[in-house]
Chains A and B, each alone.
Chain A
């Protein structure tokens, strides 16, 4: 009945002394992709960092819970948390050249990875790796294995990182803007590969991005984050097709216009640490701003079945 691989409940996070996320509640259901969209600095990367729980990421959980397959993550000791990495929870990073050691061959690094999970079986492992590469459409797997990341393009490195995730088959795959550092053509290739990954493995994925098109393509459900608060969430078709919150509406209509101007509401920047502000953090940029917005408490309401928003003024 509860097939949520990851449940985030009323999570509030701080980073560097300020509140970067507040009262976020999200679910990633088994086999589904959850997209988290928003501008830079809205806190979406911090969410992933909190879930991953790597040492030294400096994201502090102030309130709330993260439940992974029934286990409360913050209650786990460090060692147990560390044991989840790679095998249960995997991550694709934004910077493609930086996930692997740039000056050692992929072959050695894949081997170490498999050995760390007790899955290295000599030649048959290499065959398995090449098989993954093929399935994901990566050409010439043998050459890739022999190469070092610094010799390959960003796009290729990202695709290899995705292949590594496929090899490990984590139950939850986190992706932090996997295509933002790539050029447009390569982005499409990588997105194709992610699609294929989804088809082949049925992995549960959380896909953080500011690219609405990618979210629409890959994700069954989407959450919209603004200044650390979830302003809208639900089935992707509904959230992006019939947005309720004014901010989502602005995002959706932000198709590049020929005269180069952004639509009203998207000039300027979200407030830093806006999650701590009283009232609606989007207020100052909102074209539909009303007087009550300053004192309005944050709460998600169901706008229609499977679609929630903290403000429904954006509905047409």
Chain B
């Protein structure tokens, strides 16, 4: 009574590699962006405002005459880096905190879990908007706003894994033989949940990117003149009829980037599922 197996393990692994390579290429591109831009992303040109794509400006210019392509490339840098940062920070912080809670229990556990409940009792994006709005528009504030709730899932995962593992006899044995708590957790417990944590991280990158861009779009994230896809779209929508490339370029770039990271997350999840399946 089996349904057709979706993909063999090898095929899934191949997918993960493809999208991992693409994602890394994107990140590398983001690093190199300042050196690759055809024009200065912040240089305004009064003669070329809202110009259509041409040889000098491959994707046209915006209302201040700035090169759209250059700004999109710099925007890639902002978006990709900030998202990766937030996800990495949430990952480390959330996992560490969750592991500690699971291991020591007691008051620490109670307090942290209550905080998590409170944070999750509220729609995440709305809280981010409130926080970012109140703190003021800047990339850092936007990252903080998104990060405030981002660590919670890692914490929960790590906590429950540590709590289950704590009861295992081999953990007691390791403890008795003098293994320090920190090393114990890192080397014995965490590798078991690395999979789900990684899946969560991969899928979170796309969410973070969209979130930060959304905040910038609303004006409470990255503010102009810094190049960021969300704020570019916001700026450009007023004159979209006259210069649609000013919206379509950052929009398209955003879509492709998010799709690549989402595909990556999906493939990692498939890999995990395929690994756990019994064949035959």
- A binding-site residues for B, Cβ under 8 Å: 16, 54, 56-58
Interface mask (B156-196 → A, CB under 8 Å = 1, otherwise 0): 00000000000000000000000000000000000000000
B133 to chain A, nearest CB (A): 46
Give bound CA distance, A58 to B4, whole Å: 9
Give bound CA distance, A57 to B2, whole Å: 6
Give bound CA distance, A16 to B3, whole Å: 13
Q: Are B280 and A56 in contact (CB under 8 A)?
A: no
Residues in B whose Cβ lies below 8 Å from that of A56: 1-3
Give bound CA distance, A58 to B2, whole Å: 7
- Of all chain A residues, the one with the shortest Cβ separation from B279 is A16
- Of all chain A residues, the one with the shortest Cβ separation from B2 is A58
Give bound CA distance, A58 to B5, whole Å: 11
User: Which residues of B (1-25) have their CB < 8 Å from a CB of A?
Assistant: 1-3
Contact count band on B: under 10
Interface mask (B238-280 → A, CB under 8 Å = 1, otherwise 0): 0000000000000000000000000000000000000000001
Give bound CA distance, A56 to B280, whole Å: 14
- B binding-site residues for A, Cβ under 8 Å: 1-3, 280
Give bound CA distance, A56 to B3, whole Å: 6
Give bound CA distance, A178 to B112, whole Å: 52
Residues in B whose Cβ lies below 8 Å from that of A54: 1
B105 to chain A, nearest CB (A): 35
Q: Are A16 and B1 in contact (CB under 8 A)?
A: no
Give bound CA distance, A231 to B76, whole Å: 71
A312 to chain B, nearest CB (A): 36
Most A Cβ at <10 Å: residue of B1, B2, B3: B1
Residues in B whose Cβ lies below 8 Å from that of A16: 280
Q: Are B1 and A57 in contact (CB under 8 A)?
A: yes
Give bound CA distance, A58 to B3, whole Å: 9
Residues in A whose Cβ lies below 8 Å from that of B2: 56, 58
Q: List 7 A-B contacts (CB under 8 A).
A: A16-B280, A54-B1, A56-B1, A56-B2, A56-B3, A57-B1, A58-B2
Give bound CA distance, A16 to B5, whole Å: 12
Residues in A whose Cβ lies below 8 Å from that of B1: 54, 56-57
- Of all chain B residues, the one with the shortest Cβ separation from A15 is B280
Residues in B whose Cβ lies below 8 Å from that of A58: 2
B170 to chain A, nearest CB (A): 32
Nearest 7 interchain pairs by C-beta: A58-B2, A56-B3, A16-B280, A56-B1, A57-B1, A56-B2, A54-B1
Give bound CA distance, A16 to B2, whole Å: 11
B3 to chain A, nearest CB (A): 6
B25 to chain A, nearest CB (A): 38
